[in-house]
Amino acid sequence: MIHDPLPQPSAPPPSGTNYSAEFGCFEGPEKLLEIWFSPSPFAAAMTASNNSSNDHSDSEMSDESTPATPNESQINLSLGYSNNLRTVDRALWDSMLATVKCTVLSVVSNAQLDAYLLSESSMFVFPHKIVLKTCGTTTLLKAVPYILELARTRCGFESVYRLFYSRKSFMFPDKQPGPHRSWEEEVAYLDNHFEHGASYVIGNTRAEEWYLYLTSPDMTQHHHIENLTNMQQLMKETDGLSWMGNEDKYNWSKMDTKMVVPKPPVHETFCASSVMGYRTHDETIEILMTSLNPDAMRAFYHDDTEPSGLIGGKRVDKDTGLDMLYPEANVDSFLFEPCGYSCNGLQDDGYYTIHVTPEPSCSYASFETTIPTQPVETPGKNGHGREEAIRKLIRQVIDIFQPGSFTVTYFASHAHKDQQSDNINKLVRSVDQFGGYKRKDKILHEFEGYDLIFGHYTKM
């Protein structure tokens, strides 16, 4: 997908509604929302194509059965629904983010996804799912009805395949606005929009516990979106910012003409390792770090003699060694004033993202990646090259930030019981011991379609 180049933004002001440098109490721990509208990028497109084929004779389908590229088959909104979240107008994403209370600083894209660097963390948009991660006192869950409405009216997604929402415990919970004043309030908000949701509190509730809400996968595609806030209320919550605008291209009237999307080639199935460049096996590693070493944090402060923003972000990458985590990734880094850092990196259909709050009174850093880890070439005596590579990645990250404590969460999908057994063994071996740290928790959860390993460590 081709995007118009965006001008390089300047750094946001040093303080504001979500950032209080003078009081040193910024809420670094993020709220992380992930909504899937189909199990893979082109599942909805295949369904539409198969439904269409039932209404045509073989001769009528001769041209339509020819595979087309995603751009050819999905970008023309004038034909109807796109079945592709990446075709949503940028102005509509901006309006959705306005109610969350954050703005877009920069965007990078590749053939598989778009990465938005935000004033408070990040957003990633795939054809079939969206990942939104925000920190501070942002109201992330208020984005839910907006996202559902956008998916329905702009892309024709009438159902949600799966949802994940997670966060670690807040440092300053009393400063959070609704619906984030408590985990119970967040769960109630999500239950009002989704059926079959389950909530979990993982880890020591007297330390740094981690919260998770997820829905069961909807294989029937009949999990219809319910309880949508009306558009007047949506506009009210965005302080009068109109979603529809004055131009015809922002008209929300439902399009009657459904778009026929050609089938992927026959040899590409959802059991394969990838479909049209997207992996069918989903893995996410997240490292959440607190009590960071002040010496290691010096690089994340802005110096009046240097530019901030994207230029300053590149300096931080080089000085800290963050640029060596994924040397081949397309990276978008940002240095804030007077301190703080965010970055997004894209590599094929995977991303990684880092966010840093360096002040001693509230120091925090997060690292998240969906980029597959390549096995080490010469594994140790156990011969688990991929698990060793994951442990090496975790070691690289904690050596950069030198946290007093950190939590690792590692999600991996499985399609059947045999794969689940391998999954669990891999997860358990990956979250192992790390020199200089004592492991306080190692907890395994088995969900429908996913497995999770949770590990919490403190400095010795």
Indicate which residue of 20, 27, 208, 413 is catalytic: 27
The answer to whether residues 351 and 345 touch, using CB atoms and an 8 Å cutoff, is yes
Indicate which residue of 52, 128, 135, 387 is catalytic: 135
The answer to whether residues 221 and 83 touch, using CB atoms and an 8 Å cutoff, is no
Amino acid at 219: M
Helix (H) or strand (E) holding 76: none
DSSP string, 207-228: S--EEEEEE---TTS--B---P
Residue 182 among the catalytic residues: no
d(CA 138, CA 159): 26
Q: Which among 204, 215, 202 is positioned nearest to 167, based on CA atoms?
A: 202
Residue 355 among the catalytic residues: yes
d(CA 175, CA 169): 13
C-alpha pair distances (Å), 438 with each of 337, 376, 406: 35, 25, 10
Indicate which residue of 20, 106, 119, 342 is catalytic: 342
Residue 59 among the catalytic residues: no
Give the Cβ contact number of residue 382 at 10 Å.
9
Indicate which residue of 180, 193, 223, 355 is catalytic: 355
d(CA 114, CA 130): 10
d(CA 50, CA 47): 5
> Where do runs of H (alpha helix) occur along 225-266?
231-237
C-alpha pair distances (Å), 114 with each of 316, 345, 349: 23, 10, 10
**Which residue is associated with the tokens 């140790």?**
380
What the block records as the tokens of 190 is 């999500």
What the block records as the tokens of 279 is 């992996």
C-alpha pair distances (Å), 364 with each of 21, 65, 210, 377: 14, 52, 15, 33
Residue 342 among the catalytic residues: yes
> Where do runs of H (alpha helix) occur along 156-249?
183-191, 231-237
d(CA 125, CA 113): 6
Indicate which residue of 30, 337, 368, 387 is catalytic: 30
Instruction: List residues bridging with 292 in a β-sheet.
Output: 403
In the three-class reduction of DSSP (H, G, I as helix; E, B as strand; rest coil), residue 61 is classed as: coil
d(CA 343, CA 352): 8
Indicate which residue of 95, 121, 122, 308 is catalytic: 121
Amino acid at 223: H
Residue 27 among the catalytic residues: yes
Residue 445 among the catalytic residues: no
The DSSP output letter for 272 is S
Q: What are phi and psi of 47, to 5 degrees?
A: -65, -45
Instruction: List residues bridging with 408 in a β-sheet.
Output: 287, 455
Peptide bond into 179 cis (omega under 30): yes
The residues annotated as belonging to the active site are: 27, 30, 121, 135, 342, 355
